[in-house]
Amino acid sequence: MCLDRLDPKVRPRKVGGKIYAWKVFFDWGLKNTLIFSCVSGGVSKNKWVQEYKYRPTDKGELQSVGGDNYPLGFHAYVTEREAKKGGLCGGVHRVELRDIVSSGWQDGQRVVVAKRMKILPEKKRGK
C-alpha cells in the first residue's frame, strides 16, 4: 500500500491520549496471527509490533503516487468505514498506533502511517 498523496491535515482519532485507526488484514495465519500483506509474517493481537520487522525492503522510504517520499510504516485507515471502502480484501480490525510519521489519501480514503501498531482485541457486541 502506498499513499496516493500526502496530506498533513489527515489526523487519526485520539481518545485519552491513545491513537486509534483501522487496518485491513488478509486473513488469519498460523498461531492465531493476522496477515496484513503478501510480504509479511503474522502479527499477534494485543502485542506491539514495529514496522522495521515487517519491511519488504531495506529502504527507509516509500514514494506516493504523487511522487513525494515518506517514511515506511504501517498504513491504517482513519475510520472503520474508510477501511471497508478502501481495503482490497480481508477483514478490518481496530488498531492502536504510536509514532505517526505521515498521513494522506489512498484510493479516496484517509490513511495514517505509523512506526508501531497493536491489534486490539475485538469488543464483544451487546445483546
Q: Report residues of the chain scoring pLDDT below 70.
A: 1, 26-43, 55-59, 87-90, 123-127
| φ, ψ of residue 110 in degrees (nearest 5) | -75, 135
Predicted TM-score (pTM) of the model is 0.82
Domain boundaries along the sequence of the chain: 5-119
Question: Measured between alpha carbons, how far is 106 from 82 in angstroms, rounded to an integer?
Answer: 10
The DSSP H or E segment spanning 86 is helix 80-86
The residues near 14 (Cβ < 8 Å, ≥ 6 apart) are: 20
CA distances (Å), origin 76, targets 30, 87, 92, 118, 124: 22, 10, 10, 11, 22
Residue 49, strand partner residues: 117
Question: Measured between alpha carbons, how far is 99 from 51 in angstroms, rounded to an integer?
Answer: 11
3, 64 Cβ separation under 8 angstroms: yes
Cell representation of residue 53 = 520487522
pLDDT digits (tens, 9 = 90+) for 16-51: 889 999 988 765 554 445 555 544 556 677 889 888
